[in-house]
Structure 1
Amino acid sequence: MRVTIKRTEKDGKITLQESGSFAIVTINRPDLKNALTNRMWEDLAAIGRRIPENPKNKVVILRGSKNHFTAGSDIKQFNNLSIQEANQAFNVMEEAISTFEKIPLPTIGAINGPALGAGFELALACDIRIGTPNTLMGIPVGRLGITLNQAFAKRIADLIGKSRTMDLVYTGRLLKPKECYDLGLLNYLLEEEEDINSFTIQIGKKIMEQSPASVLAIKRSVSFNNPTISIPWETGVSSSLDPIDFPEGVRSFVEKRKPNFQRRPF
C-alpha cells in the first residue's frame, strides 16, 4: 500500500492511498467543510495526473473527510486577491476538475456531504456518484458575482438540462439528496445506516470484474461529442470488439468461469 500526502495550509491536505487496485483520494480540511485553497486545488491536480502512472490502479475513488465532500473553494482567500489573481485561481480549479474528468480509469465520487460551488463541479467530474442523507448539491454563485464559464456550465447542463441549470444559478437553491438522485446527479442514494465507504468499495470491485477495454471504451465514447473533454488514450472504439478481452470474455462464458481480464497500458 502506498500513501501520498500533499500538505498545504494548516489543517488542509490531500491524501492519495493506493491499495488493492484502488486509488483513493481524500480531501481533508474538515474544520472548514473541506473547502479547498488555491494550493489544495494545485495539489489535487498533481495527484490526478499521478494516478494513471501506477499500472496497478484500476478504479479511482474521490471523497472528503468526515461528513463533507467539499464546500468548494475557500471564498475567504479571494478577499485578498486581485481580479487577475482570482481569474487565475478559477483556471487552477478547472485544471484540477478536468484532470479527474479525463483520468483514463473509472472514477467514483463518494459524496458524503455537501458538494457546493466548485465542489459540485468536482463531483460531476466523476463517472459515478454515490450519495447519503447528508448530501447537498448546488452552485450558489450569484451572491458572489461569479460568472460561470462554459466548461463549468456544461457539466451541469449535460446532466440536468439547460433550464434546471439556469434555475440553480438564478435562485442559488441547494438540492437535497432525493432531488439529486431524481435528477441523475447521484447514481446511488444510500440509507442512513449504510456505510458509504464500504458501498463505494463494493461498486469499485464490481467495475474491476468487467473488461478494462469495455470500461474505458464507454468512458471515451460518451465523451466523444464533448469539446471540453479530450481523453488522451485509445481503446479501439472504431471496432466493437477488443482483440484481447473479447476472446477471453467469450471463452470464460463458454467455460462457465469468471473472465481473467488483464489491464493493459493506455
Structure 2
Amino acid sequence: MVAIASVAKSLKNLKLQNTTTHLFRLQSIRTLLLQSASESVKLQKLNDSDSGILEVNLERPETKNAIGNDMLKGLQYAFETVNTDHTAKVLMICSSVPKVFCAGADLKERKAMSPSEVQNYVRSLRSTFSYLEALHVPTIAVIEGAALGGGLEMALSCDLRICGEDAVLGLPETGLAIIPGAGGTQRLPRLVGKSMAKELIFTGRRIGGRDALSMGLVNYCVPAGEARTKALEVAWDINQKGPLAIRMAKRAIDGGLEVDMKSGLELEEQCYEQLLHTKDRLEGLAAFAERRKPNYKGE
C-alpha cells in the first residue's frame, strides 16, 4: 500500500510539473499575429505547437485603456479576425497597462460629440460587445486593476472572467446621469441576479475582486498579478477538448438561456446531433479505449 501511494504521489507531482512547464511555455512564447486597425489594440497568438489560444491586448496607457473611436475600431477588427480564424480555440482579453483593465468609454472624446454622435458611438459599442459575446470560441476576460463602465461591460460579454485580488469593478454611469448602455443593464443581472445588479447600477458602487467572486461576477479571483497565469491554465484546459464540442456547448448554453426549458432541450439535441458524425467524436472514443491523449482536429 505504501508503494502504491508513493507511485500515485509521484504521478501527481509529474502531472503538476508537466502542467507548470506547459504554462511557462505558453506565457513565454508569444508572437504578433497581425496588425490591428488600431495601435491601442494588439491581437497575438501563442506560438505553441498545439495552441489555439489568442490574446487581444489593450494598450492605451495615457487614458487607462479608455475606449475611444480608434480603440473601438481595433476591437471590432480583432474580434472579426478571431471569428474567421479556423485555428482559434480560445480568446483572452488582457491589458498591457499596469493596474488597469479598461477604464470605460473615453469621456474626453465623448464630451466633444453631439447627442447623435454619442448615440451612434454607444450603439456601435453595444454591437461590438454583442459580437464578442457571440464569438464561436470561448472568451476569457483577464482583469487586473480597474474594469469600470464600458470596461466591465466588455468583460461581461466574455464567457469567463478571471481577476486579481486588487481588481476594482463597477458601473458608475448613473453618477454621470446616464445608464450602462453597452449591455450592462442586461448582462449583469443575468450573472448576479436582479436585486444585486440594481444595487450596483443604482449606486455606482465599486467592488473588489473577492466580492466579485462571492456574488458570481467572476469565475476566479487570484493574487494580484496572477490573473493571466490562471487564465492561461483555464484556456489550456479548454484547448485540450474537442473544439467542435466546445462550440456546440457554447451555442446550446447561450441559446438555451433565452428560451423555455422545452425549447432549450430541443436546441441541445440539435447541437448534439451535429457532433455525431464528426471525426473528433470517433477520435475521442478511440483515445479513451486506447488510454491515450486524443488528437482533435476540429473535424
TM range (shorter): 0.7 to 0.9
User: Given that residues 142 and 172 in structure 1 are in contact (C-alpha distance below 8 angstroms), is that contact kept between their aligned partners in structure 2?
Assistant: yes
Q: Map 1:150-189; keep pairs closer than 5 Å.
A: 151-189=183-221
Matching of residue 237 in structure 1 with residue 258 in structure 2:
no
User: Given that residues 169 and 206 in structure 2 are in contact (C-alpha distance below 8 angstroms), is that contact kept between their aligned partners in structure 1?
Assistant: yes
Q: Which runs of 5+ in 1 are unaligned?
A: 228-233
Equivalent position of 2:249 in the other structure: 218
Q: Map 1:72-87; keep pairs closer than 5 Å.
A: 72-87=104-119
Equivalent position of 2:157 in the other structure: 125
Instruction: Pick one of 69, 88, 93 that aligns with 1:62.
Output: 93
Question: Per the alignment, do residues 150 and 50 of structure 1 end up closer, same or farther by CA in structure 2, a change over 3 Å counting?
Answer: closer
User: Given that residues 131 and 189 in structure 1 are in contact (C-alpha distance below 8 angstroms), is that contact kept between their aligned partners in structure 2?
Assistant: yes
Q: CA deviation at 1:152?
A: 3.2
Instruction: Pick one of 110, 113, 138 that aligns with 1:106.
Output: 138
Q: CA deviation at 1:151?
A: 3.8
Q: Which runs of 5+ in 2 are unaligned?
A: 1-30, 259-267
Matched letter for residue 73 of structure 1: A
Structure 1 segments (4+ residues) deviating >4 Å: none
Matched letter for residue 117 of structure 1: G
* Count of paired positions: 254
CA RMSD of aligned residues (A): 2.2
Matched letter for residue 189 of structure 2: A
User: Given that residues 146 and 168 in structure 2 are in contact (C-alpha distance below 8 angstroms), is that contact kept between their aligned partners in structure 1?
Assistant: yes
User: Given that residues 111 and 129 in structure 1 are in contact (C-alpha distance below 8 angstroms), is that contact kept between their aligned partners in structure 2?
Assistant: yes
User: Given that residues 114 and 136 in structure 1 are in contact (C-alpha distance below 8 angstroms), is that contact kept between their aligned partners in structure 2?
Assistant: yes
Q: CA deviation at 1:225?
A: 4.4
Question: Per the alignment, do residues 189 and 148 of structure 1 end up closer, same or farther by CA in structure 2, a change over 3 Å counting?
Answer: closer
**Partners in 2 of 1:7 and 1:48 — Cα distance?**
11
Matching of residue 4 in structure 1 with residue 20 in structure 2:
no
Q: CA deviation at 1:235?
A: 10
Equivalent position of 1:261 in the other structure: 296
Equivalent position of 2:42 in the other structure: 15
**Partners in 1 of 2:149 and 2:158 — Cα distance?**
15
The structure with the larger Rg is 2
Secondary structure at the aligned position of 2:93 is classed as strand
**Partners in 2 of 1:67 and 1:150 — Cα distance?**
23
**Partners in 1 of 2:60 and 2:155 — Cα distance?**
17
Equivalent position of 1:147 in the other structure: 179
Secondary structure at the aligned position of 1:110 is classed as strand
Question: Which deviates more from structure 2 when the two are superposed, residues 239-248 or residues 30-39?
Answer: 239-248
Instruction: Pick one of 246, 249, 262 that aligns with 2:284.
Output: 249
Q: CA deviation at 1:241?
A: 4.9
Q: CA deviation at 1:46?
A: 1.5
Report Cα offsets for 1:205-242 as digits up to 9, x if no partner: 11111111221112111111466xxxxxx995153853
User: Given that residues 42 and 96 in structure 1 are in contact (C-alpha distance below 8 angstroms), is that contact kept between their aligned partners in structure 2?
Assistant: no
Q: CA deviation at 1:150?
A: 8.6
**Partners in 2 of 1:63 and 1:166 — Cα distance?**
27
Equivalent position of 1:191 in the other structure: 223
**Partners in 2 of 1:217 and 1:235 — Cα distance?**
10
Matched letter for residue 34 of structure 2: T
User: Given that residues 248 and 272 in structure 2 are in contact (C-alpha distance below 8 angstroms), is that contact kept between their aligned partners in structure 1?
Assistant: no
User: Given that residues 73 and 117 in structure 1 are in contact (C-alpha distance below 8 angstroms), is that contact kept between their aligned partners in structure 2?
Assistant: yes
% of aligned pairs identical?
28
Instruction: Pick one of 47, 57, 60 that aligns with 2:78.
Output: 47
User: Given that residues 217 and 236 in structure 1 are in contact (C-alpha distance below 8 angstroms), is that contact kept between their aligned partners in structure 2?
Assistant: no
Secondary structure at the aligned position of 1:156 is classed as helix
**Partners in 2 of 1:143 and 1:195 — Cα distance?**
32
